[in-house]
Structure 1
Amino acid sequence: MTAKNALNEIKRSLDRYVGEKILLRANGGRRKTIERTGVLEETYPSVFVIKLDQENSFKRVSYSYADILTETVELMVCNDDGHVRLTYSQGILEA
């Protein structure tokens, strides 16, 4: 599977979770991990946008689908059963 197809597949998979509460873990550099919660607001052709909860200083953050592919960003969907981690493996974004 080519990289472009992989990124398109990640986008299509994330489309299902638009409007869902998300826990985001991202590499903040220098061994820092940023953990924030918010709502997956929109998916665009190259990036996705998360509207953060009120306690954060930023209102929205965006990341590229390549960040999921390279595991720079981890997403977890918050549902009634707890958190479900979304991981990309073998051409499929899995919950």
Structure 2
Amino acid sequence: MIKTDVGSVRRAVSKHIGSKVEIRCNLGRHRVDVTEGIITDTYPSIFLISVKNGFEDTFQTVSYSYTDVLTHDVQIKLCKA
């Protein structure tokens, strides 16, 4: 998703609630975390993604900011069903 302002990122994310996505998160110092999850909810400043825990059959909720997407600290890619 390449967007130019927070409003367009917010609309694009809210349009895909319930969709499976791949998240690439820049952790700094050349470390990248890649996870798959489902967009569960959107709020004015953040959106929530439900990620399956690797050790158990439980889910963990992770929040990301729309500004993280704009600054390319977080990259979202839709997964094919």
TM-score interval for Structure 1 and Structure 2 normalised by the shorter chain: 0.7 to 0.9
The residue number in structure 2 matching 1:59 is 60
Q: Residues 1-95 of structure 1: matches in 2 within 5 Å?
A: 6-55=5-54, 59-80=60-81
- How many residue pairs get matched? 76
Runs of 4+ in 1 over 6 A off after TM superposition: none
Mapped to 2, the partners of 1:77 and 1:55 lie a distance apart of 21
> 5+ residue gaps in structure 1?
81-95
TM-score (norm 2): 0.83
Change in 2 beyond 3 A, CA 1:70/1:56 = farther
The percent identity for this pair of structures is 33
Report the RMSD for the aligned CA atoms in angstroms.
2.0
> 5+ residue gaps in structure 2?
none
Q: CA deviation at 1:54?
A: 2.9
Change in 2 beyond 3 A, CA 1:56/1:29 = farther
